[in-house]
Amino acid sequence: MSSQEIPEEKYLPSEQGDAHHGGVAVADDPFADPGLPVHKPRIQDIDERAARRSERTVAFLFTLSMLATIGFIASYVIFPVDKIVYIFPIGKVSALNFSLGMTLGTALFCIGAGAVHWARTLMSDVEVAAERHEIAAPPEVKAQVLQDFADGARESGIGRRPLIRNTMIGALAMLPLSAVVIMRDLGPLPEDKLRKTIWAKGKLLINDNTDEPLRPEDVLVGSLTFARPEGLDEHAHDFQTQIAKAALMIVRIQPDDIKDKQELAWSHDGIVAYSKICTHVGCPISLYEQQTHHVLCPCHQSTFDLSDGARVIFGPAGHALPQLRIGVNDEGFLEALGDFEEPVGPAFWERG
Amino acid sequence: MKKLSARRRHPLAAVVVLLFALAATGGLYAAFAPAGKAQADETAQSLAIEEGKKLYAVGCASCHGTGGQGSSDGPSLVGVGSAAVDFQVSTGRMPAQQPGAQVPKKPAIYSQEQIDQLAAYIASLGAGPITPTGKQYDPAGADIANGGVLFRNNCAQCHNFTGEGGALTNGKYAPNLEDVSPKHIYEAMLTGPQNMPSFPDSTMPEKQKKDIIAYLQNVNGEKSTSPGGLKLGGLGPVSEGLFGWIFGLGALIAVAVWVAAHTAKAKKS
């Protein structure tokens, strides 16, 4: 049952290694274990003065580390946060950041360097072989374990009482179901949140820069404007959730240059409003080239042609950018004529 | 007074009176006739247009057409305005050296006076954005924090968070804004050079443009600082991570190899 029964000598680093020292007649057996090489002393092992020197070096490194730590604390106290100094060749840097980094780096490096130097020059460097013991257990141990198992099974009577055995299996199999049911509490179901944004008929397009509603004459050909829906308060608790879906980019294209009929019909006099969320993995996308009308996504280089229904012309995106139908209300402001017709952002399982 | 009246019959008295009268007449004329100055300005303006037209015919017409109507080699310049001309010519982008994905910045080949003449001529072809005055683009006193918000919302997608620039499609790129003067930044926002969209005053008012210029000068100008040091081009976490993996880990591995390769034995074997 226990390893005590096995002769101890087998596990210890044996003296065999030493027997090999001094070389083996290779000619007899070319694959013979050459054993460990002859131990050679270091200068510190022979010369006491050299050992002292090494000792002093290690102590010096550790002392330097202590001084650097004191320097760290001193820098923290001395330098104000906004003090800027010029340091060649890095440039104008914060004195506090620079001194904290240098002192902490020195403190850590000196501990490491000191420890390495100590280990290499002063600690014992005699090679020690710790041989592995055999993985397989001895036959008597194996027999004992199997016997114990059989005894246990017989004494518990599991083979003779199938009712207990079966109900136990049933109980254990059912138990994880409670964990599965509790998972329902991980969060509300998404419902139609992935399909809907807060854009709705009559909502004005608010300029992100000025917080004023946009008029068609504000948007010039070749310009780029970002808009959000009217009534979306920046301090509302769900602002991020809503703007992440409702963000809009507005450009104006000469109506003659718009190739897609639906795009033209959903625009107002060449002003087109597209979702700013890439349909690949949802990065905000607005690298608009005003001459080609291409929009590039900075994350994975998906490219959309805004003059052709925001068709994907390059990259991994699977869908065209959703377009928002816009018009002009009685007061001459741009307004949405409804929500996006398709889900914005990346595709999801049920999107189809 | 006595002294003056005593000399009123002096032979030169008439001359002195005449001089006074002439000076008074001239002064009054100058004071009450500002129309003449405007006239002179208009003449200077039409002179500039004439000079600009000559420069245009030599330097620009081969691509943009003899009347600025554009050709297969260059876009129409009708309605681009003097601001666009000032930006393109004084940053050396125009005249272009060769066609390509994007015309790069290079030393300007026209003097400011010639650029103003060219701009006057192009502006006379059709109304467009006017070259801004120093008061319009001077960032002194602007709101740097608001400029940062505006820059990240409108500009950072292409020009990176601190205006370091970035790549676009098919060889096009958003240039680094480090050495760009406030005037040129203002003109670029106003006119949208090459593939950059414009940000007209109707959607981004003059004050906001100033804020953006102030932000750029703060983070990417001559006087801007880099508190952390070694900003590695300011390109963001990807370049910083790459630097850490290659040089940071590389240095650790090199030190480990060096430590292991140097024996501490007294006799080298």
Each residue's pLDDT tens digit, A107-132: 999 999 999 999 999 999 888 888 88
Question: Among B269, B121, B137, which Cα is nearest to B213's?
Answer: B137
Question: Among B164, B147, B141, B157, which Cα is nearest to B221's?
Answer: B164
Chain A neighbors of B189, CB-CB under 8 A: none
Considering A121, A152, A174, which residue would you say is the last residue of a domain? A121
| For A43, nearest residue in chain B (alpha carbons) | B266
Compute the distance between CA of residue B178 and CA of residue B163 in angstroms, rounded to an integer: 7
Q: List, as ranges, residues 32-71 from A with C-beta within 8 Å of B.
A: 40-46
∠ CA(A242), CA(A244), CA(A246), 5° rounding? 65
Check whether A9 has a pLDDT greater than 60. no
- Indicate yes or no: pTM above 0.80: no
Chain B neighbors of A296, CB-CB under 8 A: 168-169
Question: Among B234, B227, B253, which Cα is nearest to A101's?
Answer: B227
Compute the distance between CA of residue A16 and CA of residue A7 in angstroms, rounded to an integer: 16
Question: Among B124, B138, B116, B232, which Cα is nearest to B182's?
Answer: B138
Q: Any chain B CB within 8 A of the CB of A94?
A: yes
Q: Tell me if A120 and B269 make a contact (CB, 8 A cut-off).
A: no
pLDDT at A13: 44
Nearest by CB: B208 against A97, A121, A209 = A209
Amino acid making up residue B94: M
Question: Among A103, A106, A83, A107, which Cα is nearest to A95's?
Answer: A83
Q: How many CB pairs under 8 A join A and B?
A: 114
Considering A73, A96, A121, which residue would you say is the last residue of a domain? A121
Q: Any chain B CB within 8 A of the CB of A27?
A: no
Q: Any chain B CB within 8 A of the CB of A289?
A: yes
Check whether B245 has a pLDDT greater than 60. yes
Check whether B9 has a pLDDT greater than 70. yes
Check whether A20 has a pLDDT greater than 50. no
Chain A neighbors of B230, CB-CB under 8 A: 90
Q: Using the structure block, give the residue that is written with the tokens 């050079």.
A: B193
Question: What is the number of other CB atoms lying within 10 angstroms of the CB of residue A244?
Answer: 16
- The answer to whether residues A243 and A110 belong to one domain is no
Compute the distance between CA of residue B133 and CA of residue A347 in angstroms, rounded to an integer: 49
Considering A85, A103, A121, which residue would you say is the last residue of a domain? A121
- The answer to whether residues A111 and A234 belong to one domain is no
Q: How far is A42 from chain B (nearest CA, A)?
A: 4
In Å, what is the CA distance from A56 to each residue of A41, A62, B259?
20, 10, 19
Pairing of strands A248-252, A271-275: antiparallel
Each residue's pLDDT tens digit, B39-85: 556 777 888 888 999 999 998 999 999 888 888 888 899 989 999 99
- The answer to whether residues A114 and A228 belong to one domain is no
Question: Among B106, B97, B225, B213, which Cα is nearest to B159's?
Answer: B213
pLDDT at A25: 53
pLDDT at B223: 77
Chain A neighbors of B157, CB-CB under 8 A: 284-287, 298
| For B128, nearest residue in chain A (alpha carbons) | A220
Q: How many domains does chain A have?
A: 2
Each residue's pLDDT tens digit, A39-69: 888 888 899 999 999 999 999 999 999 999 9
Compute the distance between CA of residue B234 and CA of residue B177 in angstroms, rounded to an integer: 12
Pairing of strands B166-167, A334-336: unpaired
CB of A282 closer than 8 Å to CB of A269: no
| Edge-to-edge strand list for the sheet holding A311-314 | A287-289, A294-296, A303-305, A311-314
Mutate to test the interface with B, among A223, A283, A293, A300 (most CBs of B within 10 A): A223
Chain A neighbors of B192, CB-CB under 8 A: 222-223, 290
- The answer to whether residues A236 and A117 belong to one domain is no
φ/ψ bin of B254: left (φ > 0), alpha (ψ from -120 to 50), beta (otherwise): alpha
Mean pLDDT of A324-350: 93
Question: Which residues make beta-bridge pairs with A303?
Answer: A296, A314
- Topology of domain B134-232 in CATH is Cytochrome Bc1 Complex; Chain D, domain 2 (1.10.760)
Chain A neighbors of B158, CB-CB under 8 A: 287
A126-135 contacts at long range (C-beta below 8 A, 24 or more positions apart): A126/A39, A127/A36, A127/A39, A128/A13, A129/A13, A129/A17, A129/A36, A130/A13, A131/A11, A131/A13, A131/A14, A133/A10, A133/A11, A134/A10
- Choose the weakest-confidence range: A143-152, A185-194, A329-338, B188-197: A185-194
pLDDT at A6: 44
| For A220, nearest residue in chain B (alpha carbons) | B200
In Å, what is the CA distance from B244 to each residue of A91, A94, B249?
20, 21, 7
| Alpha helices per DSSP H over chain B | 2-6, 13-32, 35-59, 61-64, 81-90, 112-125, 134-137, 144-154, 156-159, 182-191, 206-220, 237-243, 249-261
Check whether A1 has a pLDDT greater than 70. no
Query: What ipTM, to 2 d.p.?
Result: 0.76
Q: Any chain B CB within 8 A of the CB of A115?
A: no
Q: Which domain holds residue A93?
A: 43-121
For residue A190, name the pLDDT band (cuts at 50, 70, 90): confident
Chain B neighbors of A219, CB-CB under 8 A: 202-203
- Positive or negative torsion for Cα B143, B149, B153, B158: positive
Residue ranges of E strands in chain A: 84-87, 91-94, 205-207, 224-229, 248-252, 271-275, 287-289, 294-296, 303-305, 311-314, 323-324, 326-328, 334-336
Domain assignment present for A198: no
Question: Which residues make beta-bridge pairs with A323?
Answer: A274
For residue B24, name the pLDDT band (cuts at 50, 70, 90): confident
Pairing of strands A323-324, A326-328: unpaired
Domain assignment present for A263: yes
- 3-class state of residue B56 by DSSP: helix
Mean pLDDT of B22-48: 72
Each residue's pLDDT tens digit, A82-115: 898 988 888 888 999 999 999 999 999 999 999 9
CB of B198 closer than 8 Å to CB of B191: yes
Q: Any chain A CB within 8 A of the CB of B99?
A: no
Compute the distance between CA of residue A310 and CA of residue A318 in angstroms, rounded to an integer: 12
Per CATH, the homologous superfamily of domain B36-125 is Cytochrome c-like domain (1.10.760.10)
Domain boundaries, chain B: 36-125, 134-232
CB of B154 closer than 8 Å to CB of A209: yes
In Å, what is the CA distance from A106 to each residue of A61, A71, A92?
10, 10, 21
H-run or E-run covering B173: strand B173-174
- The answer to whether residues A342 and A217 belong to one domain is yes
Q: Provide the token pair at A263.
A: 């795009």
Q: List, as ranges, residues 223-262 from B with C-beta within 8 Å of A.
A: 224-230, 259
Question: Which residues make beta-bridge pairs with A287?
Answer: A296
- The answer to whether residues A103 and A210 belong to one domain is no
Kindly state the DSSP code that residue A267 receives in the 8-state scheme. S
Q: Any chain B CB within 8 A of the CB of A267?
A: no
Nearest by CB: B259 against A97, A116, A220 = A116
- Positive or negative torsion for Cα B69, B72, B74, B79: positive
Q: Any chain B CB within 8 A of the CB of A313?
A: no
For residue A157, name the pLDDT band (cuts at 50, 70, 90): confident
